[in-house]
Amino acid sequence: MNIGQAAAASGVSAKMLRHYESIGLVPKAGRTEAGYRTYGEAEVHTLRFIKRARDLGLPIERIRLLVGLWRDERRPSAEVKRIAAEHVAELRTKIAELTGMCETLEHLAAACHGDHRPECPILRDLEGRNRTRRPKPAAADRRAADTAGGQATR
């Protein structure tokens, strides 16, 4: 198989395939005399593994670990489970974050009449006037916001 066929067989694009090789996620493919990469069933098998892991949102570095464990006949399943659990935790965090954003925005949009008039609760909220709510749970970083209230003309 050449790279195009391997790509079609695995679901990983040829472009990504070369990329994965370049970062060492998959070993360097063999080459024909003309320089074309060649792939066999084993390589495609690995690529499919990677593809599925990517479909689950696993980042490359974690996939690298998983592939290593996968190849290791004596791996402890606890290792695999730990990696999966870490990813689940991150997914949950992300989901919660997005859900919060989504709810806030839905709320604001629901309050907006959405017609030709300029009055708009969404803009009002973003502006800071009339903040309807907005708990803003994650990633606290706002510091010294009050200095704006003063002059600070230096």
Restricted to residues 51-110, the positions that interact with DNA (CB under 7 A) are: 54, 58-61
- Binding flag, residue 3, DNA (CB under 7 A): yes
- Specify whether the CB–CB gap between 25 and 60 falls below 8 A: yes
Binding-site partner at residue 33 among a second copy, DNA, none, CB < 5 to 8 Å by type: DNA
- Binding flag, residue 60, a second copy (CB under 8 A): no
- Binding flag, residue 19, a second copy (CB under 8 A): no
Give whole-number Cα distances, 61 to 13, 53, 79, 94, in Å.
Answer: 19, 11, 15, 18
Instruction: Please give the torsion angle defined by the CA atoms of residues 34, 40, 42 and 43, in that order, rounded to the nearest 10 degrees.
Output: 40
Least Å distance between CB 22 and DNA?
A: 8
* Residues facing 37 on adjacent strands: 31
Q: Which of 27, 36, 93, 132 binds DNA (CB under 7 A)?
A: 36
Nearer to DNA, 2 or 99 (CB): 2
Least Å distance between CB 60 and a second copy?
A: 14
Q: Which of 59, 102, 132, 133 binds a second copy (CB under 8 A)?
A: 102
The C-alpha atoms of residue 28 and residue 15 are separated, in whole angstroms, by: 14
HSE-up of 4 (CA within 13 Å, CB side)?
Answer: 1
Site residues (CB under 7 A) for DNA, limited to 120-139: none
